[in-house]
Amino acid sequence: MSDSDNLLERIRDFGDTEPEPTAEVIAKREVAAVLRSISDSIGASGASASQLREIAETLGAVRVALGAASNAADPDDPNAHMIAGMKDFRDRSPVTGRANPMAPPATLHTDLDAEVVTGEVTFGPAFEGAPGIVHGGFVAAVLDEALGMAGVFSGGPAMTAELITRYRQHTPIATALRIEARLDSVDGRKVRTSGEVYHGDVVIAEGEGLFIAVDVAKFARLAAAKSQRAED
């Protein structure tokens, strides 16, 4: 199997084939789901100042407990074969990460045969901008994620150089939305993709992305730099 084939297999795994999550991963997702629900509830809460301060103190103690726990690498991690620094991306992504309380989370799937990315997202109240409407920056973030995933159809990973987002209609909160993205062209290291966010069959936002292809070794360098910063 060639290096290119190996990379595509890793990308296939990255996009869709998820190994059985460990008990720790499942628990992290449960914690994130609770925190996500808290974020959705804060804005509309009628709790008193004293109640809110008590809640903040409780959450502060939780933060200390989480920070004190070891983050040692798991030698039996089923994602260890992934691109360096990206093995936990499914769970830590601010767009798709089920273990990241900042994420909606969106679900995105890659079909290497059809060369299309499809997905779904429902934005909760924490993502509200204008009343009842999702803040446009989060719509752009979902498009960036989907368009970036479509870039792997070029044969390897790429990083965002330019993202154009057009908002055709307001994006409603608490509403199931559909996502599609595809590869449009490759010119040297320049990878162009496009995609849409749908409410039913109506396009409510569309994006065009220019991505720059990068060698997988770059991810190893980025991961090493991150580890060095943590030690300093």
Please tell me the predicted confidence (pLDDT) of residue 74: 55
Query: Does 209 reside within a domain?
Result: yes
Beta-sheet strands, E only, within the chain: 107-111, 116-121, 158-167, 177-187, 190-199, 202-213
- The stretches in the chain having pLDDT less than 50 are 1-5, 13
Cα Rg of the chain, angstroms: 19
Q: How far is CA 97 from the centre of its chain?
A: 5
Residue 32 lies inside a defined structural domain of this protein: no
Cα separation, 91 vs 102, in Å, equals 11
* Angle, CA 82 vertex, CA 77 and CA 85 arms, to 5°: 90
Decide if 35 is inside a domain.
no
- State the pLDDT at residue 112: 85
β-pair partners for 66: none
At residue 188, the pLDDT reads 96
Range of the domain at 210: 3-20+75-221
Position 1 scores a pLDDT of 38
Answer yes or no: is 172 within a domain: yes
pLDDT in tens, 77-119: 555 556 666 778 888 999 999 999 999 999 999 998 899 999 9
The Cα–Cα gap between 30 and 200 comes to: 29
3-class secondary-structure state, position 139: helix
Stated pTM of the model: 0.84
Cβ atoms of residues 121 and 104 within 8 Å = yes
Residue 162 belongs to a domain: yes
- pLDDT value for 215: 87
DSSP 128: B
Domain count, the chain: 1
Is 13 within 8 Å of 157 (Cβ atoms)? Answer: no
Q: Is 179 a member of any domain?
A: yes
What is the CATH number for 165? Answer: 3.10.129.10
* Residue 57 placed within a domain: no
Contact 82, 9 (CB under 8 A): no
Is residue 128 within 8 A of residue 186, CB to CB? The reply is no
Residue 183 lies in a domain: yes
